[in-house]
Each structure stands twice: as C-alpha cells, then as structure tokens.
Structure 1
Amino acid sequence: MNDKATFTVNDMTCGHCVGTVRKALNTAFPGAEVSVDLATHRVEVAADADKAAGVIREAGYTPEPV
C-alpha cells in the first residue's frame, strides 16, 4: 500500500495507550507497517488516513493529522 498516514495523538499518555492504538491499527490493517512513539505522541501507519483516523478514534483517542 502506498498510503502513509501520520498523526499526533496527544491523549496517548502511557504504554497501555500505545498498545491499544497499535493493536487497533494492526487489527484494522493486517500486515501494514505501524509505528507508535509515546515520547512524541506520533503515530504512523501505512494505510488510508481517513480510515486510520477512524480506527484511532474508535480506540478512544483523538488523532490530529500531521
């Protein structure tokens, strides 16, 4: 997949949050490259940005496009 979505997720505040976001994205986009960095609150996923944002919101977080 050529799409790459990058978000800042400021309400991702701990290791559990990272795991929740990563699991949600891995479930929604099997095989897609997913990067979640708690220190920068940055999430990158090789997927459609609108769909990825929806998955992050469904997981309980607020993605802001970068």
Structure 2
Amino acid sequence: MEWMIIEQTLEEELYLEATVREIHDCDDLEKLRSLCVSLTRQGWHQTKLIQQAVGHIASLDQAMLPS
C-alpha cells in the first residue's frame, strides 16, 4: 500500500511548519475558534468523501469480477 505513504516536497513541509507555528503563536481567541470550527467541518467533509470514494471503488471492483 505504497500509495498511502504521503510524499511532500520540502516547500510543502516548510509551508506546513510555518502555518503550524502561526497557529501556535496566535492569541486571538475568536480567530482560533473560527479555525477550529472550519477544521472540524473540513475534517468531517473529507472523512465522508473518502468513505464514499472507497465504497464507489469497491463497487467498481465488484463489477469487474467474473460472474
């Protein structure tokens, strides 16, 4: 299952680290609350999308099996 290993470029890694540090250093409670709400909604949406994609792939695999 090599396709599940996330490969990120140095640029992506540095951008992520800069974003994480910005969040960590933030003292604005409203901004942090808004970020948490957005991340919770996005996480739920991505989880649902992945579940649906896996179900769709499974049905395609099943359709390819000989009868």
TM-score, scaled relative to structure 2: 0.29
Structure holding more helix per residue: 2
Larger radius of gyration: 2
Higher relative contact order (CA 8 A, sep 6+): 1
